[in-house]
Amino acid sequence: MPVTLKLSDEEARDLAEMLSTAATVAASNQQDGAEARLAAWGNLVSRLMKELSVTSKLKGRIAYADDLGGYAFTREYEESAFFQDCLDEYRDNSFWADLVTRMADKAISEHLGPEYFENMPEEERRRTAEALEKSLWQECARYGIDRLGFILPPSDG
């Protein structure tokens, strides 16, 4: 069954930016077996972007990209696009959340013993790490990596 959407120019722009956001996030999927699904997504995104490229807000801002093998925003448009701000915030938040979780897990694993920690149910691990994660999050929010240090073995230089 064919689908027809009536979108304002602003809605068309927003949809195109949502498609680009989804395509960018999906492209980071490195799981075995994801290739076919990613290719299907890429083809659909390209087809929709081509259709959206004729709207007045997007004319000249979407073009065929040889390196991607499909239609996408031009580099010039991407540089100031809202979806890039969203992706930057997402990456930033994901980085800090992952860093804090890993640091807390490492500290607790060292304190309780790696074997004990690894055998804990995930829910209990998260409960155990919660207070430390909160402290580490506050530290990172205030100082970033300024007070983060690594202790390297002498053999690593």
pLDDT in tens, 6-65: 999 999 999 999 999 999 999 999 899 999 999 999 999 999 999 999 999 999 999 999
Q: What is the dihedral of CA 111, 117, 121, 123, to 10 degrees?
A: 40
Percentage of residues of the chain with pLDDT beyond 90: 84
| pLDDT at 143 > cutoff 70 | yes
Give me the phi and psi of 67, to 5 degrees please: -65, -25
Residue 36: per-residue pLDDT: 94
Q: List CB contacts of 35: < 8 A, sequence separation 6 or more.
A: none
Give me the phi and psi of 71, to 5 degrees please: -85, 140
Q: List CB contacts of 145: < 8 A, sequence separation 6 or more.
A: none
Burial 67-97 (b: 16+ CB within 10 A, else e): eeebbbbeeebbeebebbeebeeeeeeeebe
Q: Which one-letter DSSP state was computed for residue 1? A: -
Place of tokens 């492209």: 27
| pLDDT at 157 > cutoff 70 | no
Answer whether 105's CB lies under 8 Å from 129's CB. yes
Instruction: Give the whole-angstrom CA distance, residue 75 versus residue 55.
Output: 18
Place of tokens 């991607």: 68
Tens digits of residue pLDDT in 95-107: 999 999 999 999 9
Q: List CB contacts of 68: < 8 A, sequence separation 6 or more.
A: 42, 46
Answer whether 97's CB lies under 8 Å from 33's CB. no
